[in-house]
Structure 1
């Protein structure tokens, strides 16, 4: 392969436990940016930004961003989870949305007897339930009830939003959630019990920290609403009264949370840019670009599993555990499955481990999934692997659909006549006058409403006619490449 070849495409990496998906991307950039492998891609992006941008400040900002390998992911993984994380490089980030709708295979370990606020082992215990009656045969029977299409209600600590607010914010800030939690239709295409762990024969543990009483009460209210939605039954007056008490108690918890939060607030630094003491550079000079800094805020987010010397949080042999393999459609929450499995067995359960072993055609252990440890071994180790993966992607990548609609647009753009907007302008030079001759009964009220709307939006939204007057540097900031880039915010 040519040394000056621009490398772009899609591959996967085996994400480790404890790292956020955003942190994995940052560490990939830390390995890729100084490499000779991706130097042609970075040089190409920098040259493109220089030609697109106008003002010096905007140009420096864009070039600094272009001096990194552009990476996005095709579906996030929780910090607790390991396994396939699909990454797109360069312009291939535009192909990432297709992986959000594909099937995925997971392997998870479920521990019975306790439920947490996050539905996994890193949360705080909300309730403990008996587990002595749980057997392998009962678990296998209940697993079959999950097969097929179903409505799944996501966990409170999920990435979904309700009324424009992430669900986990309701829980973290002590705010009561709305009555209706919108379920999502998902499908379990395959489910099987992989391994059964007898009580006392495994090292999986519940967490030791317990939630406060107000949080436990709110969780009970959420679970009742969930059960009501699943069975389409109304709450009894007693349950309604308990819900009201739970919300009142949680309001008190919310106030104490806000008081603790206020004590941590400090004055924000001024956003006004400081005046540079250095003399201005000549026109067109960029100077030395600062080297990118890499954050580690997405590392070590999950405590390690306890070793054999750690005493268990129970006095008897403890609960059983089970490893389950599921193949599911997009939007499926494995944590919710673990929680619901415990409830179906008249107990409680939490997710102790989770691994995404496959997503689309990418699979852990295959030649299209890079091992995370290889990043630290240097370019001579990961370089040939990534080169092979990107080359394979470029040969086998799915082609964008070509429908009649796109062909029609192409034909219109290739016509010999003037554009449609210009024809309309020639035929009706005074569009406002034409509207005044309309027979609409509300014609006398329309102009004031439109004028008020424009006046109220002039500070938040640019007027369409002024788009051509926008500086070139600002239009470059919102180029198609920038719009296609999945951000890497935690």
Structure 2
């Protein structure tokens, strides 16, 4: 049980947000625990007393007539993301701006092979791309482009406003944004690979659901996927002897491409079919496996050469897990999208964990969300302790609380 004996408890603490719920829902869930609690009873009483002396005009302006513990967050995490979510309680909400501007650390896993409307695997596919040429070494080579001071274009599914409307509202309504989404300066202090996942060594799969034609056309204009697609469709690799050849576009989720080559007179037509993702034309004869095998054998006999080495069987797209420390305004989803283009493919984010924000870090001074289910005897002590620690760290010599002047530096 909390040791609080009538003291008004407020300030800032952090909680480890779980997946599948929004940051706003975390606030509502906290209020459902905090409002009836003994820990925050003094705060509720003080708020009621304050409202009793408000002017009639102030009372009419107040949207929320009920008395609830005042809670805000210092930087949203969408439902897919997990990790450090900073919460301001009472007067602590006035100090949240500093956390919006401080550095943050993330771990993100990125899957190659497709671009989606949300830049993550929960979205609908806008384009698919070749990925067999993507390697850990190739990704490492291009990461330098994303370190230091860079320009980054926010994703269309973001909370940025344009002409008074958030970008994600345009996207959900299928409307084109009034003007081009401009790149803006951000800083990447650290960026490194912490795990490489070859195709077939992980369980993640590219999304199957395709975006509507209108959405794809919109993406071509807004996200400029045409340029990325041209790079992807011209991707080449060196075989064991250094010879280059054009790679076929391979959609592992929808198409199964045999490594045996068809007869020469059918090859060009089949290539066009695969490149467009279309079904085989109805006026073509059904493919005869035996005929294909005979053709492949004859072709191998007459053209046997080390430079004709077949591509290895497709095991699915590779993925990479990155660790990064970035400044305010950085979008990890945009990094995922841009990284795919940089390696001549496309990519989307699988998961995202915010491991640190300001001086709050997972495993050190962040409360686990599951503690709320254990009752106030458990979470009450932890919240009170974290708020007291915050107050001690930010107390001025005169006993007042600072306004987090140094948050931007952390």
Q: Is 2:350 the partner of 1:375?
A: no
Q: In the alignment, is the contact (CA less than 8 A) between 2:394 and 2:404 conserved in 1?
A: no
Report the CA distance shift for 1:37/1:62 in structure 2 as closer, same or farther (over 3 A): farther
Q: Larger deviation: 161-170 or 379-388? A: 161-170
Distance in structure 1 (CA, Å) of the matches to 2:336 and 2:97: 27
Give per-residue Cα distances to partners, 1:107-164, cap 9 Å, x unaligned. Answer: 0000000110000011100000000001110011111210011111111111111122
Structure 2 equivalent of residue 329 of structure 1: 327
Tell me the CA shift for residue 180 of structure 1. Answer: 2.5
Structure 2 equivalent of residue 430 of structure 1: none
Q: In the alignment, is the contact (CA less than 8 A) between 2:156 and 2:171 conserved in 1?
A: yes
Q: In the alignment, is the contact (CA less than 8 A) between 2:176 and 2:222 conserved in 1?
A: no
Query: Runs of 5+ in structure 2 lacking a partner?
Result: 229-251, 257-313, 396-401, 406-410
Distance in structure 2 (CA, Å) of the matches to 1:227 and 1:314: 24
Structure 1 equivalent of residue 299 of structure 2: none
1:306-385 equivalent positions in 2, closer than 5 A: 315=256, 316-366=314-364, 368-385=365-382
Distance in structure 2 (CA, Å) of the matches to 1:179 and 1:164: 13
Q: In the alignment, is the contact (CA less than 8 A) between 1:84 and 1:369 conserved in 2?
A: yes
Give the RMSD, CA atoms, in angstroms.
Answer: 2.4
Tell me the CA shift for residue 312 of structure 1. Answer: 6.1
Structure that is richer in strand per residue? 2
1:77-226 equivalent positions in 2, closer than 5 A: 77-224=77-224
- Count of residue pairs brought into register by the alignment: 317
Structure 2 equivalent of residue 392 of structure 1: 389
Distance in structure 2 (CA, Å) of the matches to 1:341 and 1:56: 51
Q: Is 2:15 the partner of 1:6?
A: no
Equivalent residue for 1:27, pick from 18, 29, 33: 29
**TM-score normalised to structure 2 length:** 0.73
Tell me the CA shift for residue 332 of structure 1. Answer: 0.3
Q: In the alignment, is the contact (CA less than 8 A) between 1:46 and 1:63 conserved in 2?
A: no
1:33-44 equivalent positions in 2, closer than 5 A: 33-44=35-46
Report the CA distance shift for 1:124/1:388 in structure 2 as closer, same or farther (over 3 A): same
Distance in structure 1 (CA, Å) of the matches to 2:21 and 2:201: 29
Tell me the CA shift for residue 171 of structure 1. Answer: 2.0
Report the CA distance shift for 1:55/1:343 in structure 2 as closer, same or farther (over 3 A): closer
Q: In the alignment, is the contact (CA less than 8 A) between 2:102 and 2:358 conserved in 1?
A: yes
Report the CA distance shift for 1:226/1:355 in structure 2 as closer, same or farther (over 3 A): farther
Report the CA distance shift for 1:226/1:29 in structure 2 as closer, same or farther (over 3 A): farther
Structure that is richer in helix per residue? 1
Distance in structure 2 (CA, Å) of the matches to 1:215 and 1:227: 17
Q: Larger deviation: 84-93 or 179-188? A: 179-188
Q: In the alignment, is the contact (CA less than 8 A) between 1:50 and 1:63 conserved in 2?
A: no
